[in-house]
Amino acid sequence: MDTKAVFAAVYSVCEENVAFFSGGAKGTQGDAARRLVDAMNLIQEHARSLEPVISGFAAVYHHFDFDPHIPANGYRSLVKVVRCCLLHIIHKGRYITVNRRSIFFRVAHNAGEMEAYCNALCQLRALLYLARRMLHDNSHGNLFFQDESGLSESFVREYASMHKGCFYGRCLGFQFTPAIRPCLQTIAIGLVAFGENYKRHQSGIGVAASSFFTSGKYAIDPELRGAEFERITQNLDVHFWKAFWNITETEVLSSLASMTSTQVKVNRALSVPPVPFDLPLAANHRASVTIAPPSAHIGSAPVQMRLLSYDLREGQDSETLLSLSRSEGGAISLSLGLKTKRLPSSPYLLIHFHGGGFVAQTSKSHEPYLKSWSQELGVPILSVDYSLAPEAPFPRALEECFYAYCWALRNHHLLGWTGEKVCLVGDSAGGNLCVTTSMRAAAYGVRMPDGIVAAYPAILLTAYASPSRLLTLMDPLLPLSVLSRCLSAYAGNEPQTEKQVEKVSTLSIVRRDTALLLRDFRQGASNWIHSLLDSNRTSASPSTAAEEPPEATDPVRKSISEASISSPHADPPVPSEPSEFPTRKLSVKSQTCQDLGSHNNYTSSSAPLRTPEDVNFYLSKDVDPSMSSDLSSVAIPPPAGEEGSEMEHPREFPVGFEPLRSEQLAEMRVQSSPVVKDPFCSPLLAPDDMLKGLPPVHIVACALDPMLDDSVMFAKRLRNIDQPVTLCVVDDLPHGFLSLSQEFARFSPRRTHLQSRASTASWNGPIGECRPLLGKPIRSSSTPLREPSKQLGKQLKLLMERT
């Protein structure tokens, strides 16, 4: 069904039902009928405004694709979401048309359904206005607005005030495949019930029990669920999300997952002591480089890993490896049994970095699909349990992943691996760590991995706006407020300790305020007496106050000042001393340069690395006349008063239209931190000479993922510097589908497929050429994506096979 047919069907079904329900019924049924008529009239109004915009986007969004065989970018995703919303409206409208005369027809329920989709359509209309702004500013095939002020700041400001509850109630997950909607509804109900009981109980069992008993009302009332979901996502800090995402780490759930997943012979948790060791250089095996243990932020500590292997292989039951094992309780992690056959070492090894927004989860949450991969690929898998933010922000996770990679190279005989081929694989935050670990390996001059597989990776951690990131307004798994908190925690901008929410009464509040008031009076009186006794104090006080460290100030006042500085409407802070940034935040680069500088055989890498400000990930600055003419019909300029005007917040939307506003403003704290612009933090900002040393990269992205544009732009950058790269785009699945892979066994093969095509660059890496991926997309009925983790495992197998 093309665009014109979709809109024609919307007009037809709305007009027919409006004519039927405008008969003037009285009573409760009459009120519900009037609500239904008003909703359908408003849907037609939104549709008339959206129709030319959708047609305009459909004519230009191909300019932003990776290549003609992989039609995917944020503009396409927005149009797809709008079309999906319209199709749901058509489906619901036709249901009303067929059943409206039945005695079992509930007018109020169906009016609520149409109102929910009408609200969603209104908010999508607002997002398309912002997307048209991006078309105006990014007119050369680029998807990111490379500035954290202006348009990016406008998007954050609009997100904080726009209503989002409609996407979490009746319309939850409407843009995804129907098979996943029950799973998303279960997650949403569990989230709001968990949030209601969060901090009311000290034990996890108490929270789980209370959440179970209070979840019923959210299952019955979708509007209540949507409002509570919006409140939680906007106001609770990163520690809440760490606690919620780590529910799968509990002993009960992890035991259930272990029983239902593939059984493996080896499942050993390892604790590697932080001991420095030497590795030979890739360019000169006679020379070596010292790999220092991780030390950032929390000091020296053992690096946690997990070894998984479907078959018992040589070295995996050695005394040396068993001495590194840590006890987890429960079942024995190494299943030898009687007369277990010991296979020879595998020529391949997968090193896995888990996702979780840099703040949550461990390898246990990802065990089900890792065990399946170990069986299907016949290789051991080493998953790294890196330290998490905000307690251990950047670069701690990168240091531990790099140390684990080097340790695996040096101790391959303990892992059931011959040391021949090694591939890095990770999802979300783990995909970022796969790329940055390879970049650091190149900087150290050690052996590079033979390939990288990154699933929906977070490649750019800045607050730059892009069309796919507009989807954070409606994404139930990755809202912008949650995403910003995770990235702030990784950058070191979130408090390491959880905010204490005390159960206060009115009397305790009065006591606290009285104590603060008396303290201020006492401090003011003391200062007044000292000023009388010391005539020089008045002149010296300004300098003294300026030199006073911020730690000595009142914590309440400090929090207020920090809130004002971190406001999305305030100018980003500028460091007063440029030397502080490389000393603390860029410790990865400085340490790398210092280590490499001590070895004369690799002096080329001891030169200072380029700062992020010297890097521009724009792919082209030349204006394509044909492309500019196409975009001019859709793109809209900035609103009046934004450039050269004194207006603080100009109007973002045209006169006569205003999106729905939320009753609770989001507590957005998107800061312009220099840390997130570090190439080892945001690989998309890395200079070309750092990316040219990467091994072949295979990226798996989701068409409806807010991080889609990260993958598309990174693939474009690698292709432009002739780096081997492939990009696969999965339809109709959300961010994090690997962790939800057990829920997808019932997928229809006609609804979800894997689009894949290698770039023009050949695969020259030792893992072999990916000739099976070249040519036409994998869209035949013989390769349905019934279970995404298994399909990705097949892709891994293709990447690892020799020609």
pLDDT at 787: 62
Is the confidence at residue 669, as pLDDT, over 80? no
State how far the alpha carbon of 399 is from the alpha carbons of 442, 680, 694, in Å: 14, 11, 18
Q: How far is CA 789 from CA 247, 248, 264, 488, 763, in A?
A: 21, 18, 17, 29, 23
CA distance 475 to 632: 29
> What is the dihedral sign for C-alpha 749, 750, 753, 755?
positive
Inform me whether the pLDDT recorded for 355 exceeds 70. yes
Q: Which residues contact 363 (CB under 8 A, 6 or more apart)?
A: 305, 306, 352, 354, 370, 383, 384, 385
Where residue 200 falls among pLDDT bands split at 50, 70, 90?
A: low
Helical spans, DSSP H, in 611-707: 625-632, 688-691
Q: Is 728 helix (H, G, I), strand (E, B) or coil?
A: strand
pLDDT of residue 584: 34
The pLDDT of residue 619 is: 54
> Considering the chain, what is the average pLDDT of its residues?
77
Question: How much of the chain is in helix, strand and coil states, percent to nearest 5?
Answer: 50, 10, 40
DSSP states of 568-607 = TTSPPP--S-TTHIIIIITHHHHHHHHHHHT-GGGGGGGS
Q: For the segment 296-351, what is each residue's pLDDT rounded down to a tens digit?
A: 999 999 999 999 999 999 999 999 999 999 877 544 445 544 457 899 999 999 99
* Amino acid letter, residue 607: A
pLDDT at 51 over 50: yes
Q: What mean pLDDT comes out for the span 249-264? A: 79
CATH architecture of 260-327+341-462+697-740+794-801: 3-Layer(aba) Sandwich (3.40)
Residue 703 near residue 729, CB atoms below 8 Å: yes
Higher pLDDT residue, 600 or 97?
Answer: 97
Is residue 774's pLDDT more than 50? Answer: no
**Bridging pattern class, strands 288-291 and 277-280:** antiparallel
* Beta pairing, strands 725-730 & 754-758: antiparallel
Can you give 114-130 as a three-state secondary structure string? Answer: HHHHHHHHHHHHHHHHH
pTM score, whole prediction = 0.80
DSSP 145: B
Q: Which two tokens stand for residue 150?
A: 């202006």
For 432-456, what is the mean pLDDT? Answer: 97
pLDDT band at 626 (very low <50, low <70, confident <90, very high): low
Active site residues: 428, 705, 735
Can you give the pLDDT at residue 207? Answer: 63
How far is CA 529 from its chain centroid?
56
pLDDT at position 156: 85
Domain ranges in the chain are 1-142, 260-327+341-462+697-740+794-801
Contact 455, 327 (CB under 8 A): no
- pLDDT of 492 strictly over 50: yes
CA distance 350 to 795: 13
**Res. 262 pLDDT band, cuts 50 70 90:** confident
* Dist CA 65 CA 703 (whole Å): 12
Cα torsion through 114, 115, 119, 120, rounded to 10: -30
Structure tokens at 14: 């709305």
Residue 549 has pLDDT above 50, yes or no: no
Rounded to an integer, the average pLDDT of 488-498 is 79
Q: If you compute the radius of gyration of the chain from its CA atoms, what whole number of angstroms results?
A: 28
388: three-class secondary structure by DSSP? coil
SS (HEC) of 462-495: CCCECCHHHHHHCCCCCCHHHHHHHHHHHHCCCC
pLDDT of residue 601: 37
Nearest alpha carbon to residue 139 among 604, 572, 544, 619: 619
What's the confidence (pLDDT) of residue 397?
97
Is residue 737 pLDDT above 60, yes or no? Answer: yes
Structure tokens belonging to residue 402: 């790099």
pLDDT at 717: 95
In the block, residue with structure tokens 């996890």:
204
Residue 205: per-residue pLDDT: 55
- Percent of the chain's residues with pLDDT above 70: 69
615 DSSP assignment = -
**Three-state secondary-structure class, residue 501:** coil
- Cα separation, 456 vs 425, in Å, equals 11
Partner residues linked to 271 by β-bridges: 304
Above pLDDT 90, what percent of the chain? 52
Tokens of 511: 């006591």
708-731 average pLDDT score: 95
What's the confidence (pLDDT) of residue 141? 77
The set of long-range contacts for 294-301, using a CB threshold of 8 Å and a minimum separation of 24, is 294/387, 294/396, 294/399, 294/400, 294/403, 295/399, 296/392, 296/395, 296/396, 296/399, 296/587, 297/391, 297/392, 297/393, 297/396, 298/387, 298/391, 298/392, 298/396, 300/274, 301/274, 301/387
Most confident region among 219-223, 446-450, 799-803 by mean pLDDT:
446-450
Confidence at residue 608, expressed as pLDDT on a 0 to 100 scale: 34
Q: Are 377 and 790 in contact (CB under 8 A)?
A: no
Task: State both tokens at 679.
Answer: 């190439």
The predicted structure's pLDDT at residue 523: 54
Tokens of 389: 């933010």
Helix residue ranges, H only, 250-318:
251-260
Residue 547, pLDDT above cutoff 90: no
* Dist. CA 307–CA 382, nearest whole Å: 5
Residue 770 confidence (pLDDT) above 70? no
Mean pLDDT on 626-636 = 68
Q: How many CA atoms lie within 13 A of 239 on its CB side?
A: 11
Q: How far apart (Å, rounded) are the C-alpha atoms in residues 577 and 665?
A: 34
Averaged pLDDT, 513-519:
49
